[in-house]
Amino acid sequence: MITYAGFDELIARVYAHRQDHVFEYWGELIDAERRELLNDLTGIDFEGLQSLFSQTRRSDAVAGEFGPAPFIPIPKTDDENAQRAQAREAGIAHIRSRKVAAFLVAGGQGTRLGYDGPKGKFPVSPVAGKTLFQIHAEKVLASSRAYGVDIPWLIMTSIANHEETETFLEEHDYFGIRETLVHVFPQNLIPSLDANGKLVLESKNRIFKNPDGHGGSLTALKTSGALDFLAEHGIETLSYFQVDNPLVRVIDPDFIGYHVLNTADVSSKAVTKAGPEEKVGVFVRLPNGAYGVVEYSDMTHEQQHLQDCSGALVYAMGNIAIHLFSVEYIRRLTAGGAIELPYHVARKKIKSLRAGAPAEIDGFKFEKFVFDAIPLAERSIVFETSRDEEFAPVKNRTGVDSVDTAREMMSALFRSWLAARGISVPPGVRAIEISPLLALGPDDLPADLAVPDRPDVYLS
């Protein structure tokens, strides 16, 4: 057994868990490299990893004992409209009393987009070519101006993109948001395992780890000290959204209003599934009455296609990863008690070092999903929104859920805002973009706005 002053207990644990292959290159390492390796091993929960590995050989199928979750529909009747107005009032009051912060998760690797850098730096807007970060930042700023308050903005990154994200935001002066209101913190990492449940060396002295999923955001709020930042600002509600959706309403008074009036721990937005086979998770109600999300892959063909007597899909409410969290609930969830989000396992190729040479091996990566916080909540609501108005995920360059589709959807939405205000669009106009700083919705548009007759129009 190797030894190193101050680390002998850790080293003994590594041997006890039969992970001592990580010391394969020990003899070749200089002192600083040995320390790096030992630091990488510090804090690894060996027992926890072992139990995760034993789950990789078990099927993950959901028990199937669930029904569709009730939801707050897009208002159609007078009654629903009156309720909506009441909710909006409550939401606006909550925002104005400085209790809401925006929370962007941007720790993903954006593999499918194939862009070498934080996804938030990717230009997506249809005319001005604004990056995802700029679009989100301007919505936070515009909401602050609309409600006359400083809305804090939290951004979760991962080790791989943290510095580049911070530098980008600094270089752009946080797009006009006061620096002290922006809090950027990296998420935590978890080691991947090879097909035999062994830790993987990515180099002679580093253990391969991956970001612990968007569900890791809730733990990271605590471990990074972000909960203290929220306490200092008196924040009670976090408006959670993901970096790749340029249509998201980052601060939505209607949604916030329902959340507050229902004293919900977690609230979630949903859109009607595009069809039975759309690959999104759906909101369900579990036998104990709690709500949850069942992944597309965990539903049977029959469940996916099940229709009610009117021919509508029974499991129709698709999860679009927009949530509100009560800060108090996040505190409870991360207090270190029995309730904790589970890890999901994915078989992935892992870059490693084998017999001194780089190799791609088969292995297991573990991730937490943020929607697993829903069944643990005491009170939860599902709120229907319109896909056209709020969901344009940028996952790929082209094709489905791509930069192309997001640009088209943005332009179409802005066109619909102008139509709603009776503002005519000249025939020569092909693409339209409206800056969040001009309008967050049709009601903010000046009635006398004139749209110039040219192919690409940017209104700011």
* 214 is a contact residue toward ligand UTP (CB under 6 A): yes
Stretch that binds ligand UTP, among 89-97, 209-217, 329-337, 355-363 (CB under 6 A): 209-217
What is the footprint of ligand UTP within residues 87-146 (CB under 6 A)? Answer: 105-112, 119
Residue 114 CB, shortest distance to ligand UTP, in Å, is 9
* Identified binder of ligand UTP from the candidate list 91, 186, 191, 211, rule CB under 6 A: 211
Residue 328 CB, shortest distance to ligand UTP, in Å, is 23
Stretch that binds ligand UTP, among 52-60, 81-89, 193-201, 242-250 (CB under 6 A): 242-250
| Residue with smaller CB distance to ligand UTP, 19 or 134 | 134
* Identified binder of ligand UTP from the candidate list 244, 372, 390, 433, rule CB under 6 A: 244
Stretch that binds ligand UTP, among 18-26, 213-221, 306-314, 430-438 (CB under 6 A): 213-221
* 402 is a contact residue toward ligand UTP (CB under 6 A): no
Q: Residues 406-445: x/- map of binding to ligand UTP (CB under 6 A)?
A: ----------------------------------------
* 81 is a contact residue toward ligand UTP (CB under 6 A): no
| Residue with smaller CB distance to ligand UTP, 105 or 266 | 105
What is the footprint of ligand UTP within residues 167-206 (CB under 6 A)? Answer: 187
| Residue with smaller CB distance to ligand UTP, 14 or 252 | 252
Please give the residue whose beta carbon sits closest to ligand UTP in the complex.
108
In three state form, how does the secondary structure of the chain look? Answer: CCCCCCCHHHHHHHHHCCCHHHHCCHHHCCHHHHHHHHHHHCCCCHHHHHHHHHHCCCCCCCCCCCEECCCECCCCCHHHHHHHHHHHHHHHHHHHCCCEEEEEECCCCCHHHCCCCCHHHCECCCCCCCEHHHHHHHHHHHHHHHHCCCCCEEEEECCCCHHHHHHHHHHCHHHHCCHHHEEEEECCEEECEECCCCECEEECCEECEEECCCCHHHHHHHHCCHHHHHHHCCCCEEEEEECCCCCCCCCCHHHHHHHHHCCCCEEEEEEECCCCCCCCCEEEECCCCCEEEECHHHCCHHHHHCECCCCCECCCEEEEEEEEEEHHHHHHHCCCCCCCCCCEEEEEEEEEEECCEEEEEEEEEEECCHHHHCCCCCCEEEEECCHHHHCCCCCECCCCCEHHHHHHHHHHHHHHHHHHCCCCCCCCCCEEEECCCCCCCHHHCCCCCCCCCCCEEEEC
* 242 is a contact residue toward ligand UTP (CB under 6 A): yes
Q: How many residues bind ligand UTP (CB under 6 A)?
A: 21
| Residue with smaller CB distance to ligand UTP, 291 or 343 | 343
Contacting residues toward ligand UTP, per CB under 6 A: 105-112, 119, 156, 158, 187, 211, 213-214, 216, 242-244, 367, 395
